[in-house]
Structure 1
Amino acid sequence: MNETQFHTVTIAGATGNLGFHITNAFLKQGCYNVNVLRKKPENNNEKADLLASKGAKIVYANYDDKNDLIKAIKGTDVIVSAINGDYYNNQIMLLTAAQEAGVKRFIPSEFGSELPQGLEPHPVIASKYKLREALETSGLEYTYIFNGIFYEFLKTFGFDAKNKKATFYVNDDAKIRIISLADAGRYIAESLKIPEARNGIIRVGLTLTLNELLQKFEEVSGCKWEVIEDKDVQHRFKNKIEPIPPLIDDFKAFISNNAVHHDVDNDKFSFTPLSITEFLNSSIKC
């Protein structure tokens, strides 16, 4: 694996679910100055304190003040954003500040499923597309990282280990890409050493069918699961048919029906990711 040209990395959203793992992965690389960018006002945070104890530098900024952000990120080579919510409005000021601060690469908060080009975006993630347009005309290098759904959040996408139930929004032979939070963090950190990542897409994770994933859950839990098919969520949501599904259920159905699964880049990296069986064995109580 190539050595990196970068020296200082700043992570925004470093105390969130994924951001914490991203920051840990950069710290474990041992070849970067790692900054944790936090919103003012300064306050105590257990995760931030833990990262600081491992060598991260905590820096504070007003995210609505470009000059304050420039001051906070000055000297940064790479910004990794793990910010959630309104992906455009929550990142555009950071991107603008990065341009003026001399940042070389900006990795935006993607880290989800890849969708086909030309598809009208779902409202939940439409702001990601707007941010991409700004990023690709910013003059900064960028990397989009698509890793699918995190093992830790599979319950949200229909796999209820406690009640042994699986909800499918598509046929059981449809594919799904999954990964652990920790491995996603490692891929993101190592992407700086992958030449193809410059102004490109990195695809990582494990791809299998919904039925294959269900079988993994059943094998580890030692019993047959109930399968619930709910394939008309988007139709009911769009046409306001009672009971109208929540927006988040419509989004899950949208992802299930539209995600694309190109070949992954796992073999370009230095480690073997945690298998879903290993994860389930450590997380499911039979």
Structure 2
Amino acid sequence: MAQKPLVLILGPAGHTGDSIVEGLLESGNYRVAGLVRPSSLTKPSTEKLRQRGVEIRAGDLKDSMADLKKHLEGVDIVVSCILAMVVLDQKDLIRAAKEVGVKRFIPCDWATPGQRGIRPMGDMKGEIRDFIVDIGLPHTFIDVGWWMQLFLPLPARSKREPEVHARVNTEYAGGTTPTALTDLRTIGRWVARIIADPRTLNHPVLICEDERTQKDAFEIGCRLSGEAESLAAKRISISAEEIESRFIKFKAASEASENPMAWEILYPYWTMAYVKSIYVMGENSIASAKKIGYLDAQALYPDMTRTTLESFAEWFYALEEPAYAHF
């Protein structure tokens, strides 16, 4: 009997990586390995992975080409869930994957679809996509829209910082833009289907479980949190014109800075770039993604159970701290 495909996950203990580990193991169709930095080998999160049956391989994206090839021994599929700030460091691993014959490489995307030139992070991920295509490495590019965990307004009992409350209680550009949403907890189940499907080879795919507006999220939050009055009192509204003004301001500050990657420079610019893309340009929708060549995971797998924003909200507002997944 043929062995199950071996999937190597980079960043297996992060939010997205953990979901993918769970989904692959739950499917029963894969062997799963995780690439973990040597300094993290004794961390509780790594031990948890071992206990779940994940093979741990010690390594780093900046290892030598010989070591990178060794990390990829026997690997059929690579799924990258690395930190956003090191996205461009994937290139040597991609070269190594091509040389050893990896059958499918899924680079670190896991966000919203959109055109180039608006979101700096999207452009960095686009550079990696171009690199993969140029060297001829079999691949699938997977985006997931916006997490449901980051879309609902927070109840007053949440102990998260005021700026976190303000971020998710802000209505952008009228709040009526359709937004593709996915429950972080279920991303791995979709990935398990996508990476086994020959139809998705060498294509971008959008995972979207529900498509709702900010006004929908606010109404659901008021109804299911039991804190309608409190949420209404804290509601903030920012127009499309103000979003564009802030985007131009923050972009100019980044371009003029000697250290554009400094958090105080980077964060407002990158955040407003996503706000513009999602809520002004409407790029985070199934229709918009299809226009630029994405396959729709809903259409590919109509038998998959999808999480609606309402059903997610029932779980979310029952948590002691609903902001567990906020940055």
After TM superposition, is the score higher than 0.5? yes
**1:1-286 matches, cutoff 5 A:** 7-41=5-39, 43-64=41-62, 65-86=64-85, 88-116=87-115, 119-154=116-151, 159-162=153-156, 166-205=169-208, 206-222=210-226, 223-224=228-229, 225-226=231-232, 227-231=235-239, 232-239=242-249, 246-256=268-278, 257-258=280-281, 259-262=283-286, 264-269=296-301, 270-285=303-318
Report the CA distance between 1:197 and its aligned residue: 0.9
Q: Is the 8 A contact 1:6 1:77 kept in 2?
A: no
Amino acid at match of 2:29: C
User: Which consecutive residues of structure 2, in runs of 5 or more, have no partner in the other structure?
Assistant: 157-164, 254-264, 288-295, 320-327
Amino acid at match of 1:137: D
What secondary structure sits across from 1:58 in the alignment?
strand
Amino acid at match of 2:48: L
Report the CA distance between 1:123 and its aligned residue: 1.9
What secondary structure sits across from 2:195 in the alignment?
helix
Partner of 2:324: none
* Distance change >3 Å, CA 196–CA 203, structure 1 → 2: same
Q: Is the 8 A contact 2:247 2:276 kept in 1?
A: no
Q: Is the 8 A contact 2:104 2:138 kept in 1?
A: yes
1:127-156 per-residue CA deviation (whole Å, 9 max, x = no partner) reads 11110110112222111212111122236x
1:32-58 per-residue CA deviation (whole Å, 9 max, x = no partner) reads 121111123453122222221121100
Q: Is the 8 A contact 2:145 2:284 kept in 1?
A: no
1:168-219 per-residue CA deviation (whole Å, 9 max, x = no partner) reads 2222211111111121111112112323211112222211122122211122
Cα distance in 1 for partners of 2:180, 2:211 equals 4
Cα distance in 2 for partners of 1:136, 1:5 equals 28
Normalized per residue, which structure has more helix?
2
Amino acid at match of 2:205: I
What secondary structure sits across from 1:199 in the alignment?
coil
Q: Is the 8 A contact 1:87 1:131 kept in 2?
A: no
Identity of aligned residues (%): 22
Q: Is the 8 A contact 1:9 1:35 kept in 2?
A: yes
Question: Alignment length, in residue pairs?
Answer: 277
User: Which consecutive residues of structure 1, in runs of 5 or more, have no partner in the other structure?
Assistant: none
Cα distance in 1 for partners of 2:178, 2:171 equals 11
Q: Is the 8 A contact 1:88 1:130 kept in 2?
A: no
RMSD over aligned CA atoms reads 2.7
TM-score, structure 2 length as denominator? 0.76
Cα distance in 2 for partners of 1:26, 1:198 equals 18
Normalized per residue, which structure has more strand?
1
Q: Is the 8 A contact 1:111 1:146 kept in 2?
A: yes
Amino acid at match of 1:175: P
Q: Is the 8 A contact 1:11 1:82 kept in 2?
A: yes
Cα distance in 1 for partners of 2:299, 2:249 equals 44
What secondary structure sits across from 1:280 in the alignment?
helix
